[in-house]
Structure 1
């Protein structure tokens, strides 16, 4: 379990400010989504949390310890599955454990079974559909020892029905393991369906413009997407984002 604190984070590239005084937190076992205009710095935020960039100012804390600029402290799942093509699905999901020395093949096989990938343990990524690759990639994130998972638009390349199926599957697995998740998406419905809270970033230089605490109970069902309450929340967040453009 983890608690992430972002305090007064700022970052510029070539004298162009991207993030300016960004402040928010992710509580233990919480699912938080980040929404913002295209180019507002959402991916830059992830790169700062993951230690790939160093901020110009501000700090990042994980469980009360300052981790600014440190690599390897989060489990990161990008937009593409990023599975190694020469490794089988089982070997791919075990990669994080191999690197850290915490190798648990039994847990990996159990997760593969729950992901509906039984029979594909020895298959290679080229033999899997897009949704199956994303499932394998998320299993790898769950099996990595880091307590915070950062997901960067992992379902953006999938068709509508596959994306909804993957969202439901993600919630089912997450509710069992309750890892802290920070999720970047452009999709308001996706953020509403998955999240405990939604953070809306302003246009560049990005600040936290508003936070929404989502009231829907868990576990969540796909039927939620068709309710009037869900539509009203979507309209409210859409209006907030529209004001930024």
Structure 2
């Protein structure tokens, strides 16, 4: 587990400011979702945290250490699973730890079993469904040595029922590890169901518009989607996003 501090981040491309003086903190073991209009810079922020870009100004701190422009400090799962087609499932999930010289295939086997992938260890990505490939990608993130995970709309390509099953699975697996997670989604219900806190970003350029502390206890139950309180939260967050369009 770890704490991430995003401090006064500004980033421009071709003289267009995408992120402006953006600041927030993710605490140890916290699951935080980012919501905002399309093009509000959510994926750009992930690339900055991961060190793929450098900000024009501002810094990132992980457990007090400055990681601005530094690669390899976090585990990042993009929208597509990004599995290597020539590697088996188990070889894909140990890749992150393999890069650091510490692959543990026994631990990987246990995690795959928890993910409902027992028997698929030696299958190749093309032999798996979309939901199964996403599970493999997330297990890879959990097995990577980094303590902070960024998830960029990992369920956006899935149908509604598969998406809900993946959300439940994610909460179950995450609850056993409690890594700090920053999760990007466009789906308000998904953000409420998964998160301890939701950060709403404005656009043109992106700044923190508002934060919502989600009060539902853990473990989360699927039935919470049908409660009046859940609907109230959905309406309030929807109204906040609507004025940003």
| TM-score, normalised by the number of residues in structure 1 | 0.99
Where 1:169 maps in the other structure, the secondary structure is: helix
Question: What's the CA shift for 1:105?
Answer: 1.1
Mapped to 1, the partners of 2:184 and 2:92 lie a distance apart of 23
Q: Are positions 1:180 and 2:180 aligned together?
A: yes
Q: Distance in 2 between matches of 1:33 and 1:102?
A: 30
Q: How far does residue 104 in structure 1 lie from its aligned partner after superposition? A: 1.1
- 1:136-155 Cα offsets, whole Å, 9 max, x none, are 00000000000000000000
Measure the CA separation in 1 of the matches of 2:161 and 2:97: 32
Secondary structure of 2:19's counterpart equals strand
- The aligned residue for residue 59 of structure 2 is 59
CA offsets, 1:196-220, max 9 Å, x none? 0000000110000000000000000
SS in 2 for 1:149: strand
1:235 is aligned to 235
- Please say which of residues 98-107 and 178-187 is displaced more in the overlay: 98-107
Aligned to 1:112: 112
Q: Look up the SS of the partner of 1:190 in the other structure.
A: helix
Deviation at 1:222, TM superposition (A): 0.7
Partner residue of 2:36? Answer: 36
- Which residue of structure 2 aligns with residue 169 of structure 1? 169
Q: What value does the CA root-mean-square deviation take over the aligned residues?
A: 0.4
Q: Which ranges of structure 1 fall in alignment gaps of 5 or more residues?
A: none
Alignment of 1:58-137 (within 5 A): 58-137=58-137
Unaligned runs of 5+ in 2: none
Counterpart in the other structure of 1:214: 214
- The residue matched to 1:18 in structure 2 has which SS? strand
Report the equivalent of 1:226.
226
Count of residue pairs brought into register by the alignment: 245
Please give the per-residue CA displacement for 1:59-88, whole angstroms capped at 9, x wherever unaligned. 100001111000000000000000100000
> C-alpha distance in 1, partners of 2:204/2:37?
9
User: Which consecutive aligned stretches of 4+ in structure 1 deviate over 2 angstroms post-superposition?
Assistant: none
Q: Distance in 2 between matches of 1:61 and 1:43?
A: 18
Q: Which TM-score applies when normalising by structure 2?
A: 0.99
Q: Where does residue 16 of structure 1 map in the other structure?
A: 16
Secondary structure of the equivalent of 1:210?
A: strand
Please state whether the residue corresponding to 1:19 is helix, strand or coil: strand
Partners of 2:114 and 2:17 in 1: CA distance = 44
Q: Secondary structure at the match of 1:161?
A: helix
Q: Residue deviations 1:124-180, cap 9 Å, x none?
A: 000000000000000000000000000000000000000000000000000000000
C-alpha distance in 2 between matches for 1:221 and 1:86:
38
SS in 1 for 2:191: helix
